[in-house]
Amino acid sequence: MAQQVELSPASIEALAELLTPKLKPQPAASVLDVVYLSVTDAAKRQSVSAKTLHRMIDRGELHAYKFGRSIRVKVADLDRAAKRIKTVSETFGDADE
């Protein structure tokens, strides 16, 4: 049988404080957090040619930004542009079927 325990309001507050997760507010992403790479550096990072990235930019597959005469790519956009390829079993199904 469950036993009832009486708690004081101070005890209830202390218990609630212990059980409530302490969430730290996350700062909003600032302009300083965005990392831009030149097309040449972005190509090296992805192990492709700069020409490949220029073609992706032309096709609209990768966003690019112009700073004066320099074209830059956001690292986050570069990571999103990478496409996962299907394995043989995902494409053709299991060979054992």
Give pLDDT, residue 83: 82
Give pLDDT, residue 23: 66
Distance CA 34, CA 69 (A): 19
* Residue 39 burial (C-beta neighbours within 10 Å; 0-12, 13-18, 19+): buried
Q: With a threshold of 0.85, does the pTM exceed it? A: no
Give pLDDT, residue 54: 96
Give pLDDT, residue 87: 79
Give pLDDT, residue 38: 94
| Cβ–Cβ < 8 Å for 78, 43 | no
Residue pLDDT, tens place only, 24-67: 666 666 656 678 999 999 999 999 999 999 999 999 999 999 99
Q: Strands (DSSP E) along the chain, which ranges?
A: 36-38, 65-67, 70-74
Give pLDDT, residue 30: 63
Q: Is the predicted pLDDT of residue 73 greater than 90, yes or no?
A: yes
